[in-house]
Amino acid sequence: MASLYEAVELPVVASPGPAGRCAPMQNPKAAELVPDLTVGSLLTAALESFVPESVGRAYHAAVARAYTLGRTPLSNVAWLQRLEASPGCTLVLDRHGLTARGGLLPDDHLFKFMARNGLIRDNRVVWAPEYPLLPIAPQRAAPTTAASEPAAADDALGSAPQTTCAATVLNVYQLANDVCGHKGVVHGGLSSALLDESFGYLLYLLASTAAEAETSSSSSSSTAATGGAATSKALRPELPSAALKAAMTAHLEVDFVRPLLPESVVVCVAQVEKVEGRKVWLRAELLSGAPTTAAPGEAAPVVYARGRALFVTPRH
């Protein structure tokens, strides 16, 4: 879209006009630019001329929100609508929250930059304190004996077999086109980053839940607080909120199952796997849809990648 400056502010040179006056030399691009002008572009250019830059940014953000209200790319995804309407599921972040200054993510965050620059078209993060466990991932091929395989599987699952649900984040993205590595395939590094980002959201929400429990316990008896915590059978770390907020990625492994295409709608389902002291193991799957929202007759979601991460909390 042409700006008001390109189409209207034409350079003036001392070329004699018909009556000997100096006439402006027409910008050769003016004929191409003028037809593109709209009332919106004129008002925008005028606004940028008379108001501070910060106010102009706020104006553009307000216009963008008004324009996309109810029309975001993920607003018509049926399985996502069913997920957000499910009991116990809460929407904690959308595209506006992702791109807004301040808020949950710092302004220099990678995914905020990607969303602001159109590489991520939409994002919605759903928190489910109790969500069915992901299926057991196939074991990697390794030179192990048959006798040692069950022990390895038990070690990977930790305490998971003792429960049927876990604290879960479902991080849904609508990707753009310019996110590829191999031609026509989303870069594997971005798939890994989606998994790691979802792990971060999960730890943040677990920390927020722990902080609420700590606040309630300070205003009530410890017995009542303990009883309230025991009502949930979901797998989650019993660690202080400050420790969870400060947890850092110590190890991340990713198995790429099948190519992910650009412009796809994907959901990263991240869950707690097990807790060993200061170590918190998380796992996730990158899917074409939420595992529990398939309508009758719909195919099961496609798995693009599986990830597992170790987060370590500080000693003090």
**pLDDT one-digit tens code per residue, 229-284:** 445 667 777 788 888 888 999 999 999 999 999 999 999 999 999 888 889 999 99
Domains of the chain: 4-50 (no CATH), 74-312 (3.10.129.10)
Tokens matching residue 85: 């309407």
Residue 12 has pLDDT above 60, yes or no: no
pLDDT of residue 85: 94
* pLDDT per position as a tens digit, 57-105: 666 556 555 544 446 889 899 999 999 999 999 999 999 999 988 878 8
| Largest interatomic CA distance in the chain | 102
Residue 147 has pLDDT above 80, yes or no: no
First to last CA, the chain: 55
**Which residues, listed in sequence order, are joined to residue 252 by a DSSP beta bridge?**
309
Residue 222 has pLDDT above 60, yes or no: no
- What is the mean predicted confidence (pLDDT) over 189-218? 90
Mean pLDDT highest for which of 57-61, 135-139, 154-158, 201-205? 201-205
> What does R_g of the chain's alpha carbons equal in angstroms?
26
Helix (H) / strand (E) element for 229: namely helix 222-230
Residue 29 has pLDDT above 80, yes or no: no
pLDDT of residue 39: 60
pLDDT of residue 145: 44
* 1 band by pLDDT with thresholds 50, 70 and 90: very low
Handedness of CA 173, 174, 176, 181 (dihedral sign): positive
| pLDDT > 90: percent of the chain | 46
Report helix angle 222-230 to 188-218, nearest 10.
140
CA angle (23, 29, 34) in 5-degree steps:
90
Residue 151 has pLDDT above 60, yes or no: no
pLDDT of residue 41: 62
Residue 26 has pLDDT above 60, yes or no: no
Work out the burial of residue 246: count CB atoms within 10 Å of its CB; fewer than 13 is exposed, 13-18 middle, 19 or more buried: middle
pLDDT of residue 46: 67
Of residues 17 and 255, the one with the higher pLDDT is 255
Mean predicted lDDT score pLDDT of the chain: 77
* 299 band by pLDDT with thresholds 50, 70 and 90: confident
Mean pLDDT highest for which of 7-11, 29-33, 51-55, 140-144? 51-55
pLDDT of residue 238: 78
pLDDT of residue 74: 94
- For 57, phi then psi, to 5°, come to -65, -40
* pLDDT per position as a tens digit, 120-136: 999 999 999 999 999 88
